[in-house]
Structure 1
Amino acid sequence: MVFGRKKSDNKDAKPTSTLADVIQWTDYSGKEKDVVWKHPSNQIRWGTALIVQQYEAAVFFRDGKIYDVFGPGRHALTTPNMPVLTKAFNTLYQQPLFHSTVYFVAIKEFDGLFGGRTQTRELFPLLANGQYWYKVSDSTLFVNEVVGGNLNISPEEISKFLKGFISENLMKELAAYSLETVFTEGLETISLKLRNAIYDKFKRFGLDLFDLRFNAIDTEDQYRELAVMTKQGVSASEVLRMFTMRESAKELGKSTGGAGMGGAFVIPPLIMDQNRQPQQSQQQIQKQDDEALKILRNRFANGEIDENEYLKKKQILEK
């Protein structure tokens, strides 16, 4: 949960008539998990005490704008202490009360979970999940960009937004990697690279993404053997070539009842020690490439794969 609980979800509701002698974060039911809490009263008497605890900031929000921000301590809400709001509304000091929404922002460390699915540069599927750690580094920017003037936004909506934001961006970054890179660099290296890749995007919302770790990056069962091959030094183009031929062999086997297909598309045992494999001549490799391209064209012509997948795999095979 990210956003503090509210007394009312009706943004058109009249301001509460109860005036607080002290304004502070008083709803502790979700304080360990909430990043923001909105004070229930937006009518404030001049001279009221504002108490901001350690690891908090109090943000005064009115008419879609932020005016004054207070750090930890006890503050008297007087015109000298609120210069921005007083200057913007120069008649406020003549009134016994003024209106402003007060957001308390927790600036301690929080954590969250992410997960999703994407595909590698060669269009092999990937499934990933992990954990991230963050904190609000700019409370003004966070309230402006994430909370804004939407007083009806719920805790679940903001929590869903943050989780969706990081998951979407991580999966997008992961899609730029090859199968070989994903399964040979290791989770720690991938985590550091992707954390750095999306760090500035978090900064846009006033958030500091100070750590991120992938717990697992995997692929679907039928592709797992290919991932093992990449760890043993088999190139992505070779893996794709073998996969294309094997999948096509299965389809051809079905169409012919399996007769005569036993050795037509034999996949070399690449999981064994590479030094024990017989060296292939350039002509043999070219022949395999031509055969794989032919099969790929047939699969595209038969509607088994779309144009985007066809062009990407064709480019890899032609390298």
Structure 2
Amino acid sequence: MIVGTDNVVFLEALEWFDETGQELLHRLPESGSGEIKYGAQLTVRESQAAVMYYKGRAGDAFGPGRHTLKTGNIPIITKILSVPWAGTSPLRAEVYFVNLKVFPNLKWGTRDPVAFRDAELGFVRLRAHGVFNIRIVQPVLFINTLAGTMGKYSTEQIEDYLRRVIVSRLNDYLGETLDTLFNLPAQFDELAVGLKKRLDKDFIRFGLALDELYISSITPPEEVQTAIDDRSRMGAIKDMDGFVRMKAGMAMEKAALAGNEAGAGLGLGMGMMMPAMFANAAHTANPADTRQQGGGQAPPAVPTTQCSDCTNTIPTDARFCPFCGHQQVVLLQCSNCGKNLAVGAKFCSRCGHPTDEKPAACICSNCQNENLPGAKFCDNCGQRIS
């Protein structure tokens, strides 16, 4: 305390407590700049930093402890010298207290869905949500770029802007790193770490640090979720035929346990439907089966045989298997011109020779062994047949 001739003049004792837990910055005096006197005491806590502005310029930041402030406002003398300014000293000063603690659990999320081109699902719109933590690492830069001359600055005033920055960067980051939503569940942590690194520069230019960022959910529209669920179910079912039979059996069991006329009718109906269900399941499992065409009409029956290599059912007159490409064995040839004949043909389609005449056997001139028609070597002695 300094005692003057006419009155008592007190020195300031400056300190600040954040009662809300949400204030990033607080200015003293609260009404604006003041005549902070020479010798005023400034107390700064461990979780704080203080910046004194004197004559409109920022001085050094004060760390934890008690500090003595030095200004040109000397008690009594300043009052006399400030008479031309109506007794108000032109040597204005103010102190900004900056909260250095971590501000956790700030929410971020998409107001409108962001566009994402999925490699398997195509163009989808995603919604994302999460939380992030911030703290001030450069007090003077934070004051000069964001707070300015405001007396108070809280997380509510900056949270909306930071939320928009995060969503904007998320949109670009997903497009560069994620191929399909099917790989998303295993990449939440990796996406959060990568997104945090990309946002560091956006935060540091305001004197802020993104202490941590978490992604709690990334959700596609309901119809896309349904498609993902259906694909998961199909992947879990290894034997579709067995699955259909199991479902049919369960339905019949439930009908039998019902024990009434409706249950008996349902069981009878399921029993009549089961053969068709099994036939459809087998038809779906075998890609070689010919699908029924429109109107419920089946295509005309075609003579078929079995491929000797892959055992698939193929047309009898096929020269190569359409499934494995295996060349088919010739079952019958015209004895006159050698053309391959279809099964059951009575005349050759090339020369018209009857097919019921047996081709002449090849007799070996060496051992007189009877060989198959068209043989070039004897299967008994190995001599060339002339």
Report TM bin, short chain. 0.5 to 0.7
Determine the structure 2 residue equivalent to 1:74: 66
Distance across 2 between alignment mates of 1:218 and 1:275: 31
Change (3 A) 1:61 1:92: same
Distance across 2 between alignment mates of 1:126 and 1:71: 45
Determine the structure 1 residue equivalent to 2:109: 115
Which amino acid in structure 2 is aligned with residue 164 of structure 1? Answer: R
Q: Which runs of 5+ in 2 are unaligned?
A: 1-8, 80-88, 241-283, 288-386
1:35 aligns with 2:24: yes
Determine the structure 2 residue equivalent to 1:128: 128
Determine the structure 1 residue equivalent to 2:273: none
* Contact kept in structure 1, 2:23 and 2:153, CA below 8 Å: no
What are the Cα deviations for residues 187-226 of structure 1, in whole angstroms up to 9, with x where unaligned? 2222112112212221222122121111111111011134
Change (3 A) 1:199 1:208: same
TM-score (norm 2): 0.47
- CA drift at 1:73: 0.8
- CA drift at 1:175: 4.2
Which amino acid in structure 1 is aligned with residue 211 of structure 2? Answer: F
Equivalent residue runs for 1:162-201 within 5 Å: 162-176=162-176, 177-180=178-181, 183-201=184-202
Distance across 2 between alignment mates of 1:92 and 1:181: 68
* Contact kept in structure 2, 1:21 and 1:48, CA below 8 Å: yes
Equivalent residue runs for 1:148-227 within 5 Å: 148-149=148-149, 156-176=156-176, 177-180=178-181, 183-227=184-228
Determine the structure 1 residue equivalent to 2:98: 105
* Contact kept in structure 2, 1:182 and 1:190, CA below 8 Å: no
Distance across 2 between alignment mates of 1:20 and 1:279: 95
Distance across 1 between alignment mates of 2:23 and 2:48: 11
Which amino acid in structure 1 is aligned with residue 14 of structure 2? Answer: I
Higher relative contact order (CA 8 A, sep 6+): 1
Distance across 1 between alignment mates of 2:52 and 2:188: 42
Change (3 A) 1:151 1:37: closer
Residue 66 of structure 1 aligns to a residue in which SS? Answer: strand
Determine the structure 1 residue equivalent to 2:16: 25
Change (3 A) 1:46 1:227: farther
* Contact kept in structure 1, 2:27 and 2:152, CA below 8 Å: no
Q: Please identify which structure carries the higher helix content.
A: 1
Change (3 A) 1:278 1:60: farther
| The one of 44, 50, 72 aligned to 1:52 | 44
- CA drift at 1:172: 4.0
Change (3 A) 1:187 1:100: same
Equivalent residue runs for 1:131-142 within 5 Å: 131-142=131-142
The size of the alignment, in residue pairs, is 213
Determine the structure 1 residue equivalent to 2:245: none
Distance across 2 between alignment mates of 1:153 and 1:55: 16
* Contact kept in structure 2, 1:38 and 1:103, CA below 8 Å: yes
Distance across 1 between alignment mates of 2:185 and 2:24: 37
* Contact kept in structure 1, 2:130 and 2:214, CA below 8 Å: yes
* Contact kept in structure 2, 1:124 and 1:179, CA below 8 Å: no
* Contact kept in structure 2, 1:66 and 1:144, CA below 8 Å: no
Which amino acid in structure 2 is aligned with residue 163 of structure 1? Answer: R
* Contact kept in structure 2, 1:183 and 1:227, CA below 8 Å: no
Distance across 1 between alignment mates of 2:155 and 2:203: 19
Which amino acid in structure 2 is aligned with residue 201 of structure 1? Answer: D
Residue 124 of structure 1 aligns to a residue in which SS? Answer: strand
Residue 78 of structure 1 aligns to a residue in which SS? Answer: coil
Distance across 2 between alignment mates of 1:270 and 1:211: 38
* Contact kept in structure 2, 1:42 and 1:101, CA below 8 Å: yes
* Contact kept in structure 2, 1:179 and 1:227, CA below 8 Å: no
Change (3 A) 1:196 1:106: same
Q: Which runs of 5+ in 1 are unaligned?
A: 1-17, 80-90, 233-268, 281-319
* Contact kept in structure 2, 1:118 and 1:172, CA below 8 Å: no
- CA drift at 1:121: 3.1
Instruction: Decide which moves more: 92-101 or 167-176.
Output: 92-101
Which amino acid in structure 2 is aligned with residue 161 of structure 1? Answer: Y
